[in-house]
């Protein structure tokens, strides 16, 4: 769809400004490809929240590439770096989705779970899928109402119970409904209290058991939502979740609101889990499938034939 790329570009403006500027500065100052240049690139990566370990790995790979490709001019280092970043991100590529699909959306409060469900519901619906959402965050009435507003916006059905009811009961009903109505996609919202790890684990385990029992033929995806504005903290959060539940992919939200988008690079690296979607705004169509090559190119502001690029990206 036209404008897809422009939208991503705009959503990543803050990250691009800081990241691109820092990297460009290094290339402007560097005369030779030497240790100083590598050190400064590494520092630029770390200040953009790429994470020390990942930054180190990127620089090592870059050195290797420069060696094997016999690159000798500073001006040829940037495209090589873009390639290395894309390769690093591509080590974790999400598998294609299968249907019928049950997506369990987890994450701490405020990261953007409910909003992402609204966006994804709309997106799947636009693709011609029959979509159902389940209000599994039953702790606050406002949370249920919020999901209902998104369901209405997206034009999809919602399964909801009273505030304070057992989330597992909502999930159970939604699975029965998804089967009966032959929905292609069921998106399940959950509560995000992590302060009591044991409770959260128990609840997520229970929900997972119910899904496996009531809808064994569905493909299940547990997606963890992380807020990009929290930078490296997002990684710690993810590790907490990973220690208690299986995670198939990440939804990284609020990339539009941060200059720390470099965190994308370390998330997939550190967790060994692919970033499946990114959130680039609060609107209903502000979710995109994550594309490593595209992201790397944008991040480094490499010269691009935009017209041509529009055709290469996956259709929305
Ligand atoms: P939840 O507690 O995890 O369900 O989080 P919500 O979905 O309620 O979102 C919390 C806040 O983050 C809301 O104000 C959303 O509008 C905002 N938000 C979610 N995703 C994005 C995003 O991609 N970009 C921006 N700028 N804001 C977002
Ligand atoms: Mg919510």
Q: What is the pLDDT of residue 307?
A: 41
Q: How far does the centroid of ligand 1 lie from the alpha carbon of residue 3, in Å?
A: 23
> Residue 289 phi/psi, 5° resolution?
-70, 135
Give the domains, in start order, of the chain with CATH numbers. 2-92+295-313 (1.20.120.140), 101-247 (3.40.50.300)
Q: Which residue has the tokens 């997002």?
A: 234
Assess contact for 9 and 20: CB atoms under 8 A. no
Instruction: Look up residue 200 and give its two tokens.
Output: 């959260």
Confidence band, pLDDT 50/70/90 cuts, at residue 281? very high
% of the chain with per-residue pLDDT over 70 = 94
The predicted pLDDT at position 195 comes to: 57
- Residues contacting ligand 1 via CB (< 6 Å): 107, 109-115, 192, 225, 253-254, 256-257, 279-282, 286
Q: Mean pLDDT of all residues in the chain?
A: 89
Distance 227 CA to ligand 2 centre (A): 13
Cα angle: 99, vertex 135, 282; to 5 degrees: 85
Say if strands 219-227 and 249-253 run parallel, antiparallel, or are unpaired: parallel
- 301, pLDDT greater than 70: yes
Global confidence as pTM:
0.90
Mean pLDDT across the stretch 272-286? 94
The whole-number average pLDDT for the span 289-315 is 63
pLDDT digits (tens, 9 = 90+) for 131-169: 999 999 998 889 999 999 999 999 999 999 999 999 999
Q: Which residues contact 46 (CB under 8 A, 6 or more apart)?
A: 52, 55
């Amino acid at each position: 769809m036209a404008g897809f790329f422009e939208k991503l570009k705009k959503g990543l403006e803050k990250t691009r400004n800081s990241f691109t500027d820092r990297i460009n500065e290094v290339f402007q100052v560097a005369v030779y490809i030497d240790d100083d240049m590598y050190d400064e690139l590494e520092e630029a990566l770390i200040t953009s929240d790429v994470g020390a370990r990942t930054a180190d790995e990127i620089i090592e790979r870059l050195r290797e590439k420069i060696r094997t490709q016999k690159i000798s001019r500073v001006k040829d280092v940037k495209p090589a770096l873009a390639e290395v970043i894309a390769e690093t991100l591509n080590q974790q590529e999400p598998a294609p989705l299968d249907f019928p699909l049950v997506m369990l959306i987890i994450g701490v409060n405020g990261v953007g779970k409910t909003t992402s469900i609204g966006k994804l519901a709309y997106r799947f619906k636009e693709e011609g899928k029959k979509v159902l959402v389940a209000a599994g965050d039953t702790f606050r009435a406002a949370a249920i109402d919020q999901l209902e507003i998104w369901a209405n916006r997206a034009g999809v059905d919602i399964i909801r119970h009273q505030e304070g009811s057992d989330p597992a009961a909502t999930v159970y009903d939604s699975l029965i409904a998804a089967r009966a109505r032959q929905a292609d996609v069921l998106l399940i919202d959950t509560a995000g209290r992590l302060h009591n790890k044991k409770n959260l684990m128990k609840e997520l385990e229970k929900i997972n058991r119910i899904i496996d029992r009531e809808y064994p033929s569905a493909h299940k995806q547990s997606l963890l939502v992380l807020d990009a504005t929290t930078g490296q903290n997002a990684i710690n959060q993810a590790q907490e979740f990973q220690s208690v539940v299986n995670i198939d992919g990440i939804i990284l939200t609020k990339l539009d609101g941060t200059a720390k988008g470099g965190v994308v690079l370390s998330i997939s690296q550190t967790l060994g889990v692919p970033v499946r979607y990114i959130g680039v705004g609060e609107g209903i169509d502000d979710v995109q499938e994550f594309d490593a090559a595209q992201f790397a190119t944008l991040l480094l502001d490499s010269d691009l034939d935009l017209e041509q690029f529009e055709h290469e990206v996956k259709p929305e």
